[in-house]
Amino acid sequence: MPYVKRNAAGEITGLLEEPADGAGEELSLESDEIQTFLGQARQRLSLSDAETIRVIEDVVDVLIRKKLLLLTDLPQAAQKKLMARQRMRSELGALGNLVIDEEDIL
């Protein structure tokens, strides 16, 4: 069972394998509180992944524009994925942001 770290409001802010300062309470992994905390952590991680993917795409685009990287330097699977995402962004951009903002395009 993990040890739970809580903030001043009593909300779970972390899970530890061993007891530590501010984390002496043990809860079952199946508890509703821990499942909620883990669900929220997964959502934050997923959002961060999507944002990071966009950053990586932008970095690759800059490297290609500066001729520091050729698209063909990348593995075939990566080339296909990048080109497909570029096409999708281009098609959505052609709508003049009527449907979604560029920040929302992943």
pTM: 0.58
Whether residue 104 has pLDDT greater than 60: no
**Other beta carbons less than 10 A from residue 16's beta carbon:** 13
Exposed e or buried b for every residue in 61-97, given b needs 16+ CB within 10 A?
Answer: eeeeeeeeeeeeeeeeeeeeebeeeeeeeeebeeeee
pLDDT for res 12: 93
Residue pLDDT, tens place only, 5-43: 999 999 999 999 888 887 889 999 999 999 999 999 999
Residue 67 pLDDT greater than 90, yes or no: yes
Give the confidence band of 98 by pLDDT, cuts at 50, 70, 90: low
Question: What pLDDT is recorded for position 101?
Answer: 54
Residue 2 corresponds to which amino acid? P
